[in-house]
Chains A and B, each alone.
Chain A
């Protein structure tokens, strides 16, 4: 059983989104982090990058596999979490907190799943 906080939105690509005004904070879910195993490398887009919905904007690598980070919303990257780049295991330790990846100022409302729908998606 992995945590799926009710306060967040989710994507079918196993990312979470926290909305604050027109800014979306994005990370990967605990379910995704557990499936990857220990994260050893994170590549994030640059601040100022304009990203389109669904585009691959980064990577999360574990010893065993590679997960892509898809932009869950279109907009501009206004912050990238340098702490997870220097300490990738933060993604495993605190996926919904210190392990966030990017903040995006979005131009259209994300089309995302609520917690119940995401729980159903991952069979929990």
Chain B
């Protein structure tokens, strides 16, 4: 029996198609994944991400604990600042990728992938020995609503949330608090679409009311309700890794192009990730093709000479760009930009070329 988010009834009323994702019955699309994708790029889209895991870290030892338990230096975060980080195992493999927010000097919020909730909580709890810290899985207490796209700030501003005066100046990877129906909500300028946008953490009790307000506000600005199908094509265009595809215990952060998320510290779990990979270790690259046939996860990548040199991790016909895009792990001698390669698309050869990530980059606004 799949779990439901507090917004499930709203999705049913809106005519969503559902898919099982990490044990949750989640909207895969409402009407058209292409329309939803384009809405995020051109105006705005709203996603229910309440399946994601929220883990609180509290106590005087929290900054030191996070530096030990995670891959980069979290003790330098200021209040209301966020950082992308990795949860590594002792060998340097990736247990999960997550975002850490500092709410106050002794309280942090970690947002982890729904599918990795249990393994992330378990690993974090195991690492608490010797630290004055409490790890608490608050996933079932929070709903999460993302509003993404160029009109997202206006939509949030007009949704009946009592916002701080300087909300318009909230920077990327920062968060603030607002009040909605007399309850505090956390609003972060983060996302997983390659577009400007916000993620709003709200109690389960107020989730439905906030969703309705945001939907009404968004209706004036071309916003669409968006499912997980377009979330995947949006993040792929933005070159963002998806755990289970580009990230796993089997790839090191450097192989995944995330070496910057691992910082040399006195001691932390996953220190081997600081070591250089073997020179023959495969690396993650972007691939672009011609025509309409997309490489997909699991398809083999070959050199022009015909040797199997890699495997696709994600791929789709890019809705924004109109040509096939994919990410793949390939042998390092075939990873240079503009290298011509071949993907076996269900028995027929499709030519591709290595291209730097991301495939799509939004025009940066002033803020």
With the chains together, A34 CA to B19 CA distance in Å?
Answer: 12
Q: Is A61 a contact of B293 with CB atoms below 8 Å?
A: yes
- Which residue on B lies nearest to A68, using beta carbons? B346
Return the contact of A59 from the options B35, B232, B317, B346 (Cβ within 8 A). B346
Instruction: Return the CB mask of A65-101 against B: 1 if under 8 Å, else 0.
Output: 0100000000000000000000001001000000000
Contact between chains at B317 and A61 (CB < 8 Å) = yes
Is A7 part of the contact surface with B, judged by Cβ < 8 Å?
Answer: no
Does B292 interact with chain A (Cβ within 8 Å)? yes
Size bracket, chain A contacts: 10 to 19
Q: Is the CB of B346 within 8 A of A63?
A: no
Q: A34-B17, A38-B34 are in contact. Are A61 and B294 (CB under 8 A)?
A: yes
B315-341 contacts to A, CB under 8 A, are: 316-317, 319
Per the 8 Å Cβ criterion, residues 188-222 of B in contact with A are: none
Q: A40 on the interface (CB 8 Å rule)?
A: yes
Interface residues on B, range: 20 to 34
Q: How far is the CA of A41 from the CA of B233 in the complex (A)?
A: 16
Contact flag A66-B296 (CB < 8 Å), given A37-B28, A37-B229, A61-B317: yes
The reply to whether A63 and B316 contact each other, CB–CB distance below 8 Å, is: yes
Q: Does B29 contact A (CB under 8 A)?
A: yes
Residue of A nearest to B293 (CB): A41
Residues of A within 8 A of B292 (CB): 40-41, 61
Q: How far is the CA of A108 from the CA of B319 in the complex (A)?
A: 42
Give the complex CA separation of A37 and B27 in angstroms.
Answer: 12
Question: Does A37 contact B296, Cβ atoms closer than 8 Å?
Answer: no
A38's partner among B33, B232, B294, B296 (CB-CB below 8 A) is: B33
Taking a contact as CB atoms under 8 Å apart, the answer to whether B317 and A64 are in contact is: no
| Binary contact track A50-67/B, C-beta < 8 Å → 1, others 0 | 000000000101111010
Q: Is the interface of B mostly helix, strand, loop or mixed?
A: mixed
B32: chain A residues within 8 A (beta carbon)? 37-38, 92
Determine which of A35, A37, A41 lies in contact with B33 in the assembled complex, contact meaning CB atoms within 8 Å: A37
| Cα–Cα, bound, A89→B28 (Å) | 18
Residues of A within 8 A of B34 (CB): 38, 40, 63, 89
What's the least CB distance linking A88 to chain B, in Å?
8
- B35 contacts across to A, CB distance below 8 A: 38
Q: Find the B residue at minimum CB distance from A41.
A: B292
- A92 CA to B293 CA, complexed, in Å: 18
Contacts of A66 in B (CB 8 A): 296, 346
CB pair A64–B229 under 8 Å, yes or no, is yes
**Alpha-carbon distance A104/B316, docked complex (angstroms):** 31
Contact partners of A41 in chain B: CB under 8 A: 292-294, 317
Q: Which residue of A lies closest to B291 (CB)?
A: A41
Chain A residues, CB < 8 A from B319: 40, 63
Known: A37-B33, A63-B229, A63-B317. 15 other contacts (CB 8 A): A34-B17, A38-B32, A38-B33, A38-B34, A40-B292, A40-B317, A40-B319, A41-B293, A41-B294, A59-B346, A63-B233, A64-B28, A64-B229, A64-B232, A89-B34
Query: Ordered nearest first, which 9 A-B pairs have the shortest CB separation?
Result: A41-B292, A38-B34, A40-B317, A37-B33, A63-B316, A64-B229, A38-B32, A38-B33, A63-B233
